[in-house]
């Protein structure tokens, strides 16, 4: 089911040119939380870009997702400083706590979990972000308390 209204609002912001493909996809990603297939077909037509190019761009860049992301996006930093200070163990802890694999969303679409090359707060490693909020100097035993306010009311 195409959400024509939302899509039109996005498309009116840009000239119909292939140069605007990435900004349009970024707005769709932000608005829909993923890139829905039917919308992508319309974007290809509107910007006069082959659908193959839309697909290649949509799968090349990390911020795009072809499957719906969760309401809350958890990004665990695996930059050098975070790697050295236990970033990997932090990802594993979050993954296990939420029962979700890295790169995917929980079944109830409450969370999605990703790793990031660097979040740019290296002095506070290891670091994670939930939506726009940063959590520095993380430790595995802090994870449950941090996740709690973001959880669905009906969950534990």
Partner 1 sequence: MPKFETISQLEEYRRRLLAQRDAQAPQVLVCGGPGCLPMGSEEVAAAFQQELKQRGLAAKVILKESGCQGLCARAVKVMLRPREITYQQVTPEDVPEIVEETLVKGKILERLCYQADDGAVKAKKSEIPFYQGQHPLVLGKMDLIDPTSLDDYLAAGGYRAIPHIFGKMSPEAVIDVVERSGLRGRGGGGFPTGRKWRLCRQVPGDVKYLICNGDEGDPGAFMDRAVMEGDPHAVLEGMIIGGYAIGANQGFIYVRHEYPLAVKRLSLAIDQARASGLLGADLLGSGFNFDVKISKGAGAFVCGEETALIASMEGNIGEPRNRPPFPAQHGLWGKPTVINNVESWANVPEIINQGPEWYAAIGTDKSKGTKVFSLVGAVNNTGLVEVPMGTTLRQMVYELGGGIRGGGDFKAVQTGGPSGGCIPKQYLDLPVDYDSLQSVGSIMGSGGMIVMDEHSCMVDVARYFMSFLNDESCGKCTPCREGTKHLLEILTAITKGEGQEEHLALMEELCVTMKDASLCGLGQSAANPVLSTLKYFREEYEAHILQKKCPALVCRPLLKYTIDPETCTGCLACVRECPADAIRGEAGEPQELDQALCVKCGMCHAMCKFDAVKVES
State which residue, 32 or 134, has the beta carbon closest to partner 1. Answer: 134
Is 79 a binding residue for partner 1 by CB under 8 A? The answer is yes
Residue 121 as a binder of partner 1 (CB under 8 A): the answer is: yes
Q: Which of 89, 101, 103, 155 binds partner 1 (CB under 8 A)?
A: 89
| Residue 86 touching partner 1 (CB under 8 A) | yes
The two structure tokens encoding residue 61? 């860049």
How many CB atoms neighbour CB 151 within 10 A? Answer: 17
CB atoms within 10 A of CB 18: 13
Bridge partners for 133 per DSSP: 130
How many chain residues bind partner 1 (CB under 8 A)? 50
Q: Is 84 in the site for partner 1 (CB under 8 A)?
A: yes
Work out whether 49 is an interface residue with partner 1 (CB under 8 A): yes
CA distance 77 to 58: 22
Positions of E strands within 19-138: 72-77, 111-116, 128-130, 133-135
Q: Does residue 31 bind partner 1 (CB under 8 A)? A: no
What tokens were used for 135?
């959590």
Residues in touch with partner 1 (CB under 8 A)? 17-23, 25-26, 47, 49, 53, 56-57, 60-64, 78-84, 86, 89, 92-93, 96, 116-125, 127, 132, 134-137, 139-141
């Amino acid at each position: 089911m195409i959400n024509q209204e939302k899509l039109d609002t996005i498309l009116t912001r840009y000239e119909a040119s292939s140069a605007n493909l990435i900004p349009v996809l970024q707005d769709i990603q932000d608005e829909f939380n993923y890139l829905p297939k039917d919308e992508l077909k319309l974007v290809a037509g509107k910007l006069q870009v082959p659908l193959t190019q839309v697909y290649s761009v949509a799968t090349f860049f990390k911020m795009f997702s072809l499957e719906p992301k969760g309401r809350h996006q958890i990004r665990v930093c695996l930059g050098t400083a975070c790697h050295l200070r236990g970033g990997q163990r932090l990802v594993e802890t979050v993954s296990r706590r939420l029962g979700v694999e890295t790169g995917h969303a929980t079944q109830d679409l409450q969370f999605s979990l990703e790793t990031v090359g660097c979040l740019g707060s290296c002095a506070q490693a290891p670091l994670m972000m939930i939506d726009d909020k940063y959590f520095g100097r993380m430790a595995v035993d802090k994870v449950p308390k941090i996740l709690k306010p973001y959880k669905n009311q009906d969950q534990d």
